[in-house]
Amino acid sequence: MAAEQRYRVVDRLEAGGMAEVFRGEALSVQGFKKQVAIKRVLPHLAQNKSFISMFLDEARLGARLSHANIVTVFDIGAADNTYFIVMEFIDGCNLKAIIEHFRQMGRRIGVKESVYICMETCRGLSYAHELADDEGDEIGIVHRDISPPNILLSKRGEIKVTDFGLAKATTQLEKTDPGVVKGKFSYLAPEAAKGEDVDARADIFALGIVLWEMLAGRRLFLGETDYQTVKLVQQADVPSLSRINPEVDEELEAVLQKALAVDPRNRFESAREFGDALASFLFGKQLKVTSYDIANIVKEVVQRKSATKKTTAQEASIIDRLIQEELLRFTSLDDMSSGSDPLNVGDAPLSPDDVAGAMPLDAALFENPADWFANDDEVMGAVTEAASSGETSSSEPGWRESGVEAGADLASLLEDSGEMRMHEPLPPPREPTPEPPPPQVPAGSSLPVVDAVSAEPPAKKSGGAMIWVVLVAVLLLAGGAAAYFGGFIQF
C-alpha cells in the first residue's frame, strides 16, 4: 500500500545556508488542497544538536503564536534525516525585495507606507513579547532577528513577522550561551553586539534600523567586514535622517532617535509604545494609508520579479524530487513516541536512529537460508553424513551458491539418505540389440539400392523400429526373387 502523502512540493521560494523554504500543498481527504510554506533544514545541519534545538524552538514558539501579524505554524515533523516546519504561505514578497526594488528604480519607499509597515510589525512583536503561559506569566519571547527578509507582505497588503528561529524564551530548551552573538550583524542591538543580555527592546532597535533604511534608501550599519559591522553597531552612530530624506520631519526623526538609542533604558519600553508613536505620527500629519496602498506596492514588485523569470517551464531538479520523496515519509512530532521531547533533543546528540525512516540496514534482520532446516534432525543428519563421506567439497554445511559445487544440493543429499529415499534403484541398462545382416542380392538383379546411412538403424532402437526393419528386409528379398525368376522364364 502506497504511503499517504500529506504534503507536496510545488516550487522553491528561498534558500539559505541553514534552511530552505518551498511552496507546497497540504493534501487532505476529498481532494482538499491548501497552500503552505515548507521550511526544511539542510541535511548537513540535521545532526547538529544546537541547531536542531533552535529549529524546534522556532517551531514550538510559532505554533503557540496566533496573530494576524505573525506567520502561523501548522505542523512540525521529520522525514528520513531532516526536519520540516509547515507554515502559512504568504503570497507576496518580503520587505528586502521591496527595498531592493525601489533602490533599483532609483526611488525610496514613501514615508507613510514605511511608517505603516513598521507600525503593523509592532503589532505582531507586541503580541509575541506579551504572550503569557497558562498561569498568566509572560513567556518573555524576543525575536532577536528582526530584519527585512523576516517581514513578509502579501498581495492584499498584510504584514507578517516570520522566522522565530533565534527567539529566546524562558521555556526554551537550548539556552543561549552568555557572550554568544546571534542574529544578522547589521540589525543587532548594541547590547547584543557586546554579548550582553537582551530583552524586547533589542527588537525595537532592530525595527528602528529597518525603518531608517526604508526612509534613507541605504544601509545604516554596514562595514567592509563582519567585524567592522559589529563595531558600527556597538557605537550606534545614527546620521540625521532629515538631511538624507527631506520628507522626514523632526517629529518622525525624534521617534526614530528614541527607537535607536544606544542605551536600552532610553528606548521605547515596548513594541506597543513604539507602534503607538508611529500611529500618532500618521494621524497627526493626517496621512491616509491602508493595506490597499501596501498591496499596490507588493503587486508591482511581484510583477517585475515574475517578468525577470524564465517563461519556459523547467523540469524539477533531482534535489526537488528527493525532497518530494522525503515528504512522503513525513511524520509529525505529535505522531511520534510519547514524551516531552520525542526526538531526545537536548538530552543527547542526535543520530539518524532518532528519526523514523533513517535507520540503517541491519544484516541480523535478514534470514539465512542455511538455517531453514536447522531444527530438522533428519535433514541435518543427511547433510552431516554427506560431508563426512567426502561427497561435498566442504566439510561444513552452509550457504552454497548455485552451480558452485556438484552434488552438494539438498535434493541429492535427501536421495542419499536411507530413511528419506522415496524410489527404488533403477534396473541396470539393457544390452543393445545386434543389427541384422544386410540382405544378399544376386548379381544383375534390379533390386533398388538403399542408402547405407539412411538404412542403418540408430544405436538404440525400440521394439517397433526393429519390426519395421525386418519387414523391409523381407520385401526386398521377395522383390529380388520375383525379378530373378521372371528373367529365367523369359529365356
- By CB atoms closer than 10 A (0-12, 13-18, 19+), residue 214 is buried
H or E segment to which residue 19 belongs: strand 19-27
CA neighbours within 13 Å on the CB side: how many for 60? 22
Q: How far apart are CA 100 and CA 217, in angstroms?
A: 9
Q: How far apart are CA 350 and CA 79, in angstroms?
A: 14
DSSP-assigned states of every residue in 338-369: SSS-TT-TTTS---GGGSTT-PPP-GGGS--G
- The torsion angles phi and psi of 83, rounded to 5 degrees, stand at -130, 150
Cell of 198: 537582551
Cell of 42: 539542510
Q: How far apart are CA 117 and CA 23, in angstroms?
A: 24
Calculate the dihedral angle through the C-alpha atoms of 279, 283, 287, 289, rounding to the nearest 10 degrees. Answer: 50
Instruction: Give yes or no: 145 in active site.
Output: yes
Query: What is the chain's length?
Result: 491
User: Among all chains, which residue has been given the C-alpha cell 559445487?
Assistant: 405
Which residue out of 57, 75, 80, 145 is catalytically annotated?
145
Residues annotated as catalytic (active site), given as ranges? 145
